[in-house]
Amino acid sequence: MGQLSEFFRILQHSFRNLLPIIVVVAFFQLAVMRQMPDGLLSMAFGLLVVVFGVALFLQGLELGIFPIGKNLSNEFAKKGSLPLLMIFGFALGFSAVVAEPALIAVASQAEMISGGRIDGFTLRILVALSVGLVVALGVVRTILGHSLHWYMIGGYVLVVTVTFFAPEEIVGLAYDSGGVTTNIVTVPLIASLGIGLAMSIRGRNALAHGFGLVALAVMVPMISVQLYGIVVYSFGSAPDAAPLVAAAAVGAPAGEAVSAGPLAFLLGMLGDLLRMFRDVAPIIGVILFFQYMVIRKHIAHIHKVMGGFALVIVGLYAFVVGLKLGLFPIGRSMAEQLIGLESVLWIYLFAFSIGFATTMAEPALIAIGQKAEEAGKGRLDGNRIRMLVAIGVALGITIGVHRIIVGGSIHYYIMGGYALVILLTWLAPKYIVPLAFDLGGVTTSEVTVPLVTALGIGLATHIPGRSVLIDGFGLIAFASIFPIVTVMLYAIFVERAAQPQGETS
């Protein structure tokens, strides 16, 4: 009975996360467009499936994966073995990202739109490897007590340098891939590892040394995916993109029959479920391996844990089905309708509203804000941080939409944005840098990412002269850059205002 009431609470929580999107879309449909999109019933059903899938997924995480993951982190921190901590950090980062729903959504869209030139599974493995390596590096940084700002300045100088040489087809996708690595699976696991380590080591500060793993996990995939793009577009062959682009435009997998029989439908569902198991298997395997083979302890309440694993798989499957039925079609439909209006100002207003509303409801942001308030010991206010981040995301998505409308090169926008971030990292109080970069990584939720991705693809599809692959991706990247800017600017302003009273950072 207790588990049922907990699931009902999580279901309400998932619906609350989706509610801002429903409110914004409903307002624009009723008050601005004054028409309903085609396939409204299917979209509404898809949204319900997304809510149900996310609730099952989160319940599974709470029952099966998070308790064991946190226990393992504590055990390894007590052992104090650096090689063991690095291996565990790598395995945890890799397995969590491979199972990330938002990354699955972006990778599948990229594969369809690029006509198979970008392989979705290869992209996910590459991003997961990058995150695994960077979590291992972040563990070393926390243990040695290095300041994060040198890592971030050096890293983003490298990011901007690689961006200069990367083909334009890969840049937006690379930055989006970095933005979606930190989400409902990754953030709690990685953040708890970093904060737990910092709190268990004498002389380390939870705010300065505990945060930052999420930031590193966002940055490194941007480099590796752009390098992958340089290789693919320099040496790979170009397949016929037309069938796959057409499939992406309607939101169906390439080659899927429009009218399949019941048997084919059931076989398709079974195949999708097996693929979901393949996606989640790495994180389950890592946790079980370290639990039984390394720390050599049995799992308490094993039946509950295995039930949690099953819920994760079924919830992930329902989430992906809901995306195809609900969020992707809504994003594309809204883009098509907004472009049909006389003034482009409505597109900007929609982008700003969606960015602000969804970020304010983002659970990972609420959790990080509370952790920051506790670690800051009076220097930080959780609600003010959420407001700053929401404004940053709204501005970022609006600027990203402007780039699609006017057709500017994403290279210059991204390089300019991160040049500003590097400058502010140099100027900002050192205590705020890890938190600011982490906040840039937790702003894109499992609900926001698919809608924003579909909006970008929809705008690029319907604006003459735009390439879906070059112009359609990148909105998530902008949503990740500008919260870093707003939080650092706020910290600089507060620091300067406090100086006459003799306060220092």
Q: What pLDDT is attached to residue 26?
A: 86
* pTM reported for the whole predicted model: 0.72
Q: What pLDDT is attached to residue 72?
A: 75
Cα 457 from Cα 464, distance rounded (Å): 13
Cα 67 from Cα 251, distance rounded (Å): 36
**CB-based contact 45:1 (threshold 8 Å):** no
Q: What pLDDT is attached to residue 244?
A: 42
Indicate the average pLDDT of the chain. Answer: 79
Q: What pLDDT is attached to residue 41?
A: 82
Cα 476 from Cα 423, distance rounded (Å): 22
Q: What pLDDT is attached to residue 405?
A: 92
Cα 279 from Cα 120, distance rounded (Å): 12
Whether the CA torsion 180, 185, 189, 191 is positive or negative: it is: positive
Q: What pLDDT is attached to residue 500?
A: 62
Helices (H), 258-378: 262-289, 302-322, 328-339, 345-360, 363-376
Token pair listed for 178: 């970095």
Residue whose token pair is 């692959």: 469
**268-316: pLDDT as tens digits:** 778 777 877 776 777 778 878 888 888 888 877 788 888 888 888 888 7
Which positions ≥6 away from 238 have C-beta within 8 Å? 115, 117
Whether the CA torsion 139, 141, 145, 151 is positive or negative: it is: negative
* DSSP conformation class of 99: T
Low-confidence ranges of the chain (pLDDT < 70): 1-2, 66, 69-70, 73-74, 77, 80, 101, 182-189, 191-192, 196, 200, 205-208, 210, 236-262, 265, 279, 361-364, 366-368, 370-371, 374-379, 442-448, 500-505
**129-182: pLDDT as tens digits:** 998 998 888 888 877 777 777 787 888 889 888 988 888 888 888 888 877 776
Rounded to 5, what percent of the chain is helix, strand, coil? 80, 0, 20
* DSSP conformation class of 36: P
